[in-house]
Amino acid sequence: MDLHSVRMEYTGDDIASLPREPFRAFEIWLSEAMKTEDDATAFALATHTSDRVSVRMVLAKDLSADGITFYTNGDSIKGEQLNATHIAAGVFFWPKLHRQLRFEGAVTLLSIDDAEEYFASRPHDSRVASYISAQSRPVESYQKLHTDFENAKRVLELLPVPRPPKWQGYRIALERIEFWQGQPNRLHQRLFYAREKNGEYSRTWLQP
């Protein structure tokens, strides 16, 4: 498939006025994206071990000065890699705004209480799906998975769905963050923040 002729012209606001504190800038961009994008809280999460790099889409469930929070099965590929290296990177892409926001940082495991609270807030059927799924492990067929789900759904219809022990929350610290705003003629704006040892952030313009 020849993709040489695929082109898009980017346009965007001047981002020089973004706050010096990247968390506040993050909040502004995410709030704006939630008004225009179909799935604004989805981001690509990259994890690794010494011989393997993996990436997939996950949903952000909290944003604070401490970082980005998401939840997953700790026995999944990403869970195993996070538990081994305690570091990750992510990128949000908001095509309608011609923006992307990437970040990197150390990963911490949230408390069991945090995991329990969020798990209990999920729709009942989503909890059932997590309860029966050994995420990332082989399954005989999709029909087998669906049958297991329907059986568990009947059993747990009027019961609280227990959180799988390995269903956990993770937080990625905002140690390095780049705000990318598409501009005409590919002269894109790239504003990079890096957290220094004193906790303050440096701010640097990068060439496109």
What positions carry a catalytic annotation? 186
Q: Hey, CA dihedral for 171, 95, 25, 189, is it positive or negative?
A: positive
- Which of helix, strand or coil describes residue 2? coil
Please give the Cα distance from 128 to 131 (Å, whole number).
5
Q: What is the DSSP string of 85-151?
A: H-EEEEEEEEGGGTEEEEEEEEEEEPPHHHHHHHHHHS-HHHHHHHHH--TTS--S-HHHHHHHHHH
21 in Cβ contact with 201 (< 8 Å): yes
Of 46, 52, 136, 47, nearest in space to 92 by CA: 46
Please give the Cα distance from 53 to 41 (Å, whole number).
23
Residues ≥6 apart with Cβ < 8 Å to 159: none
179 in Cβ contact with 18 (< 8 Å): yes
